[in-house]
Chain A
Amino acid sequence: MNPLLQGAATILIGVGLCIAYFYFSNLILDKVIFPARGKNPGRNINRANAVRPWLFMGPAIFALGLYLAYPVVGSFIRSLYNRSGDQFIGFGNYTNLFASQGFQTAFFNNVLWIIFVPAASTFIGLVAAQLTDRLRWGSVAKSLIFMPMAISFVGASLIWKFVYANDPDIGIINAVRDSFGLAPVDVLQIPFWNNFFLMVILVWIQTGFAMVILSAALRGIPEETIEAAIIDGAGPFQLFFRIMVPQIMGTIVVVWTTITVLVLKVFDIVYTMTGGNFGTDILPSYMMTFMFRDDGRATAVAFVIMVVVLPVMWWNIRQARKEMR
């Protein structure tokens, strides 16, 4: 069957099933299990209302549990077994990993990514937000800086290949070098610094996200504080760094952590630009070298990523609970 037709059929069946499930489960609850008549109509209504939330959330809880919660446990257990999965080896996969040169490189690079990408994106985004807010054509500028958000990591990598290419007739960097009479270099092969050339791609994508959110936060700052600072003689830089930034610190942290979590998911850029060669591997791409070949090690790498994310998760939950009170 044509996949597009299959897709259309799935949408119809999926949506139909969903609505039917919610409609009939409610109907059965109200009319059959706890009908609002007979001996105890009041008690029945209360009971029905106690069950109903779980009907509404049922499919979501099932899907979340199966696709996100179960794999955390499943992956951990699998990571304790060997390559073929039939022999329990305890933390063997982990000790192997920590001893291997490839993992150490990937881990070190990933730390660089976690520091550099959120910091650079947030900082440039903050500056861009503040500057564009003052311009008449600011919204156009914003939407152009925001645009890379829509581009896939693979597409972005290809776009940047036209910047980094070795041939001075393709790559801009080498064209500039060429015009100064310098020999072309393959920036993706410069040890250590090549990591940063890859990070630039993700910064390019994420700056718009940071800018949009921070610009909304900047606009939410009460004007009185700014006016008071101006009357007290604060210059534009003082105003920005000492009055405005401290007031939106909460939002800056949200943006920062959101980008940090994203950094730990992105394997596409490294995969398409260097394939993890020249010492540019990061954990997500390192994991893919084991995927389909050694599930034990792949899940062990995945679990290391999970552990790295844990502090962010803990902090997010704490914030959410604070807000609800």
Chain B
Amino acid sequence: MDNIVGKKSGLTWAVNITVLLLVILWLIPTVGLLVSSFRDRDQISESGWWRAPFPVELTARGRTSAEAAADGDVFVVTGNIYDDPEAQSFFPSGGGDVVAFGTRGVNPTEFEAGATADLGDGESLTVNGDGTYRWVTPEDPGDRGQRVYFAAESPPQFTTANYEQVLTADNMDRAFINTLTVSIPATVIPILIAAFAAYALAWMEFPGRGLLIAAVVGLLVVPLQIGLVPLLRLHQNIGIGQSFLGIWLAHTGYGLPLAVYLLRNYMVGLPKDIIESARVDGATDFQVFMRIILPLSFPALAAFAIFQFLWTWNDLLVAKVFLPSDDYSKVMTVKIADDLLGSRGGDWGILATAAFVSIAVPLVVFFAMQKYLVRGLLAGSVK
């Protein structure tokens, strides 16, 4: 195509830049989440994630020491504010340059670093950029040092503490296992059922076949909301109730139309000769299916498996309705939507981490199996 006249137009640069912008626009939200999940919680609230590689100015407080040296008729206290444990606690990985300081909580950055603050009654305080201070007071301070508020640069901090908390303290580990428990059987079970049906619809002649295919196509678009109330009641009546078994069955039912449709479309395209010669050689339909159709349909089976896995892993609605709402049966999406957003609505680090934990597995599946996913999508919609 490259040598077609007019194909290589002056637009090439414009195209490159447009696509680049589009990709950046599409990536920004996800990158923000990823960066935020690794940031220290104090830093998240102090500066946006896009400034994560830069130092953050944090306001901290400490107290000077009280060991005064008499100098004429005044007492002088010198030292470094970073020696104070209280001040240290604000900067777990060491504080940077002091930018400003003050002695009152309402105005913690009243004086620039290096300036001498006149505190009245002959009392004065100087805090330098490196944290050293000199406090001059006319009275013996006794055992109480001077309160100092100061603003200092805190170097960028990245931590896995959010992940530790999410995976251990917030029951997310349990939710992770629950999600896995829901999605794997809900992916495997429909495949076999659908494959047999798809084979019959693709390669067997019988009256009513066209009608059945049309019915499957019609069922593809039935909104699943329509099933929630009657099926939950049905499950309760036959004793399944809200349980893992119930959600597996529900996902199986909801996944079947797509499975049958995708697999039939694929199987119809398999070469006719192979199947007919196998039949001539005396293979039964069961054998043809197990030995020939199933292995040859692997790409379509994989495509559906990915779809169904992503769908069941990411599902919120079916899990909310068909699983019990106690803390031990919650899947990750329910956990995030109902618990974390409510109770930790302002804790952005935890929210970002929880979200990232929940999307990590689908992303891995997506990037590893993208080829099959695209093929499956195309089998379903391009003719």
A75 and B230 in contact, given A143-B370, A172-B28, A268-B316 (Cβ under 8 angstroms): yes
Contact of A151 among B214, B317, B348, B363 (CB under 8 A): B363
Interface residue count on the A side (C-beta < 8 Å) = 117
Contacts of B33 in A (CB 8 A): 158-159, 162
User: In the docked arrangement, what's the CA distance between A264 and B223, Å?
Assistant: 7
A39 at the interface (CB under 8 A from B): no
Whether A151 pairs with B181 at a CB distance below 8 angstroms is no
Query: A68 to B177, Cβ gap below 8 A?
Result: no
Q: Known contacts A150-B365, A213-B378: does B352 contact A4 (CB below 8 Å)?
A: no
User: In the complex where A159-B32, A258-B381 touch, is A169 in contact with B22 (Cβ < 8 A)?
Assistant: no
Cβ 8 A contact of B229, one of A230, A298, A309: A298
Cβ-based interface call for B119 (8 A): no
Contacts A26-B286, A131-B19, A150-B362 given: A6-B244 contact, CB under 8 Å? Answer: yes
Is A163 a contact partner of B29 (Cβ separation < 8 A)?
yes
Interface residue from A251, A305, A316 paired with B220 (Cβ < 8 Å): A316
B-facing residues in A189-209 (Cβ within 8 Å): 204, 207, 209
Compute the total of residue contacts between A and B using a CB distance below 8 Å.
342
The residue on A at minimum CB distance from B329 is: A3
User: Does B27 sit within 8 A of A, measured CB to CB?
Assistant: yes
The residue on A at minimum CB distance from B20 is: A141
Contact at B381–A170, with CB atoms within 8 Å?
no
Knowing A3-B177, A26-B286, say if A152 contacts B358 (CB, 8 Å): yes
Name the distance in Å between B44's Cβ and chain A's nearest Cβ. 7
Interchain CB contact under 8 A, B285 and A60: no
Whether a CB of chain A sits under 8 angstroms from the CB of B68 is no
Q: Which one of A26, A61, A153 contacts B285 once the chains associate, using CB atoms below 8 Å?
A: A26
Once the chains bind, are B377 and A209 in contact (CB under 8 Å)? yes
Chain A residues positioned under 8 Å from B74 (CB to CB): none
Q: Is B50 positioned at the interface, with any CB of A under 8 Å from its CB?
A: yes
Q: Are B253 and A251 in contact (CB under 8 A)?
A: no
A160-B23 in contact (CB<8A): no
Q: How far is the CB of A80 from chain B (nearest CB, A)?
A: 13
**Is A148 part of the binding interface, using a Cβ–Cβ cutoff of 8 Å?**
yes
Q: A57-B212, A251-B381, A321-B210 are known contacts. Are A135 and B257 too (CB-CB below 8 A)?
A: no
B226 & A4 in contact (Cβ 8 Å cutoff): no
Contact partner of A306 (CB less than 8 A), chosen from B19, B197, B223, is B223
Do B181 and A305 touch (CB < 8 A)?
A: no
Query: CB-defined interface of A205-230 with B at 8 Å, one 1/0 digit per residue?
Result: 00101001100110010010011001
A52-B285 contact, Cβ under 8 Å, with A67-B253, A162-B36, A258-B381:
yes
The answer to the question of A128 belonging to the interface, with a C-beta cut-off of 8 Å to chain B, is yes
A70 to B20, CA, bound (A): 49
Chain B residues, Cβ within 8 Å of A227: 4
Question: Is A213 within 8 A of B381, CB to CB?
Answer: yes
Task: List chain A residues, Cβ under 8 A from B358.
Answer: 152, 154-155
Say yes or no: A6-B181 contact (C-beta < 8 A), given A26-B286, A149-B366, A291-B229. yes
| Interchain CB contact under 8 A, A64 and B362 | no
What are the interface flags for A62-106 relative to B under an 8 Å C-beta threshold, 1 for contact and 0 otherwise? 011011111110110010000000000000000000000000000
B105: A residues at CB distance < 8 A: none
Nearest B residue to A175, CB-CB: B48
A135 to B28, CA, bound (A): 21
Contact A147 B256 (CB under 8 A): no
Inter-chain contacts of B44 with A (CB < 8 A): 169-170
Is A135's CB under 8 angstroms from B336's CB?
no
Task: State in angstroms the CA–CA spacing of A155 and B209 once bound together.
Answer: 41
Q: Say how far A162's CB is from chain B's closest CB, in angstroms.
A: 5
B382 touches A251 (CB 8 A): yes
Residue A42 lies at the interface, judged by CB distance under 8 Å to chain B = no
Task: Select one of B49, B229, B315, B336 contacting A162, CB under 8 A.
Answer: B49
Contact with A along B211-232 (1 / 0, CB 8 A): 0111111111111111111110
B269 to chain A, nearest CB (A): 13
* Chain A residues close to B by CB (< 8 Å): 3-4, 6-7, 10-11, 14-15, 18-19, 22-23, 26, 30, 49-50, 52-54, 56-57, 59-61, 63-64, 66-72, 74-75, 78, 124, 128, 131-132, 134-135, 138, 141, 143-155, 158-163, 165, 167-170, 172, 175, 204, 207, 209, 212-213, 216-217, 220, 223, 226-227, 230-231, 236, 250-251, 254-255, 258, 261, 264-265, 267-268, 271-272, 284, 287-288, 291, 295, 298-299, 301-303, 305-306, 309, 312-313, 316-317, 320-321, 323-324
In the A-B complex, the 5 residue pairs with the smallest Cβ-Cβ separation, listed nearest first, are A67-B253, A152-B314, A74-B230, A150-B366, A60-B197
